[in-house]
């Protein structure tokens, strides 16, 4: 089982990062992709990935941080992406839900990162919230130049899922799907996603699954809860959990070109 979205650089893990990683592997997680959300955190994620076994990282600038994008940011990301731990460009994309950066800044940073990924022949690890139409419009010209593309933490509608799949995107599913209040629509569309386009992630420390059999004392999510998310998703898809774990591992190996 491979967690494609762990924000291990988060300050929430400062006190016990080694223990969090150890707990994940003890729980059956076999690898992790550590998310970089700005230049500094992408550098930190790469360093963490080099410190732990079976960890890799992304290098990119999240839409929330797009206002800090500079022409030289692409050069710094290019340099970072030369490290063997870095296997994708991202987290990049659009988030018109909060607009911490203006839509113009977000679109500029997203397009620049798509160009960088195409230049480096790296897959992209993307984020999209309340921006589906512009997201597809900006991404489409790059699709045949990218070796792969995954939209992480997919929480959109069935129509949006179908449009993403028609564009050849893979979808990352988090513990959002375990939320009995706001995750039901996602739960219902899960069977629409072909098994070879399906990835799983915790997005730790965010999005603690709400239906864990034993409630943890803190709200902090950890990669050790990945097996729970996949087991639940397999149930809602009507598939064997073991089989889905193996299939999604295979998807990770194919998309990111890694061995674990």
Q: Tokens 């730790």 correspond to what residue?
A: 204
Residue 65 annotated as binding site: no
Q: Minimum distance from CB of 132 to Zn ion (Å)?
A: 14
Q: Which is closer to Zn ion, CB of 127 or CB of 197? A: 127
Residue 91 annotated as binding site: yes
Give the Cβ contact number of residue 33 at 10 Å.
30
Q: Which stretch binds Zn ion (CB under 5 A): 72-80, 123-131, 166-174, 249-257?
A: 123-131
Q: Minimum distance from CB of 58 to Zn ion (Å)?
A: 11
Q: Which is closer to Zn ion, CB of 6 or CB of 224? A: 6
Report yes or no: 145 and 118 within 8 Å, Cβ to Cβ. yes
Residues 6+ apart with CB under 8 A from 30: 1, 2, 54, 249, 260
Q: Which is closer to Zn ion, CB of 5 or CB of 227? A: 5
Secondary structure letter of residue 161 according to DSSP: H
Residue 203 annotated as binding site: yes
Report yes or no: 41 and 12 within 8 Å, Cβ to Cβ. no
Q: Tokens 């990111």 correspond to what residue?
A: 256
Judged by CB under 5 A, which of 29, 127, 131, 252 binds Zn ion?
A: 127
Q: Minimum distance from CB of 62 to Zn ion (Å)?
A: 7
How many residues touch Zn ion under the rule CB under 5 A: the total is: 2
- H or E segment at 5? strand 2-6
Q: How far is CA 106 from CA 62, 79, 114, 249, in A?
A: 8, 22, 12, 31
Residue 240 annotated as binding site: no
CB-neighbour burial class of residue 10 (10 A; exposed 0-12, middle 13-18, buried 19+): middle
Q: Minimum distance from CB of 55 to Zn ion (Å)?
A: 18
SS3 199: strand
Binding track over 141-160 against Zn ion, x by CB under 5 A: ------------x-------
Q: Which is closer to Zn ion, CB of 67 or CB of 247? A: 67
- Euclidean distance between CA atoms 52 and 18, whole angstroms: 9
Binding track over 177-216 against Zn ion, x by CB under 5 A: ----------------------------------------
What is the binding site for Zn ion (CB under 5 A)? 127, 153
**Binding site members for a divalent metal cation:** 91, 127, 152, 203
């Amino acid at each position: 089982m491979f967690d494609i979205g762990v924000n291990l650089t988060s300050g929430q893990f400062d006190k016990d990062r080694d223990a969090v990683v150890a707990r994940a592997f003890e729980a059956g997680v076999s690898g992790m992709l550590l998310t970089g959300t700005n230049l500094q955190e992408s550098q930190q994620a790469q360093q963490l990935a080099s410190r732990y076994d079976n960890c890799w990282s992304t290098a990119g600038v999240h839409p929330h941080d797009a206002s800090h994008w500079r022409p030289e940011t692409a050069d710094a990301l290019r340099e970072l992406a030369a490290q063997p731990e870095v296997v994708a460009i991202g987290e990049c994309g659009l988030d018109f839900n909060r607009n911490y950066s203006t839509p113009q800044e977000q679109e500029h940073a997203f397009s620049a990162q798509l160009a960088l990924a195409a230049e480096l022949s790296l897959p992209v690890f993307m984020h999209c919230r309340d921006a589906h139409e512009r997201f597809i419009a900006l991404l489409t010209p790059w699709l045949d130049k990218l070796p792969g593309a995954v939209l992480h933490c997919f929480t959109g509608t069935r129509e949006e899922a179908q449009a993403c799949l028609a564009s050849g995107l893979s979808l990352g599913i988090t513990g959002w799907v375990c939320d009995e209040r706001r995750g039901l629509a996602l739960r219902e569309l899960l069977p629409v996603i072909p098994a070879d386009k399906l990835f799983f992630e915790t997005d730790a420390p965010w999005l603690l699954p709400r239906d864990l059999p034993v409630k943890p004392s803190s709200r902090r999510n950890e990669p050790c809860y990945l097996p729970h998310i996949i087991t639940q998703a397999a149930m809602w898809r009507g598939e064997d959990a073991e089989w889905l774990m193996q299939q999604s591992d295979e998807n990770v190996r194919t998309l990111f070109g890694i061995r674990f």
